[in-house]
Amino acid sequence: MAYLHLLIFGTVCVAVWLLVIYSWPRIFLSVFKRAILVKGGVEGPIPINTLYTQPQALFADPLHPPAGVSKLWTTGVNHDTLLTVGLLDLRKGPQILRVPDMAGRYYSVQFNDPSKNVNFAYVGKRTTGTGAGEYLVSGPRWKGTVPQGMTQIFSPNNSVLVIGRILVYLDNDLQTTYNLAKQIQVAPHHHSATQP
């Protein structure tokens, strides 16, 4: 009889462990979606298919954020890169990511499939260099032609979490970094293509 209790306890532990492993990406997605779409930044919620750059004042003093600002901007972030975040919805078609010339400065734009919590692509100094570029971010069912001069980033999901980081060299470099970060933008791709 004592072994039966251990067997039941062990079975429950394994079931809970599997449930947490299976649910974690969905929990992660809901936390980020709420932080981005509901709380947003200093100006309020961040619309879908829009990138939002962390305000300079919040970067300079993360311990005293304005009321109502998501903890995304102040919790667990490092203090040498300025954040740019957004959530893309590719169901209606691809988005074009435009990145300015970073002139050798470290930056990265990370693309995450939030349904699985998996990074599937990066744009940045270590992967694509620091020159200006345009990237077509397309969903799994998109059929179309990538415009000349653009690089396609294929997303395994129609929902994409975008997290950009740009190095801030010193406190007096914050304005320059902020100006560069604001130039990282997404816009819809309007060419004819099929997306069932």
Note the pLDDT tens digit of each residue in 123-153: 999 999 999 999 999 999 999 899 999 999 9
Of 137, 139, 144, 132, residue with least CA distance to 156:
139
- In contact, 145 and 191? CB cutoff 8 Å: yes
**More confident: 61 or 51:** 51
pTM: 0.78
Structure tokens at 169: 């060299």
| Confidence band of 114 (pLDDT split at 50, 70, 90) | confident
Whether the pLDDT of residue 59 is over 50: the answer is yes
Q: CA angle, 153 as apex, 34 and 183 as ends, to 5°?
A: 65
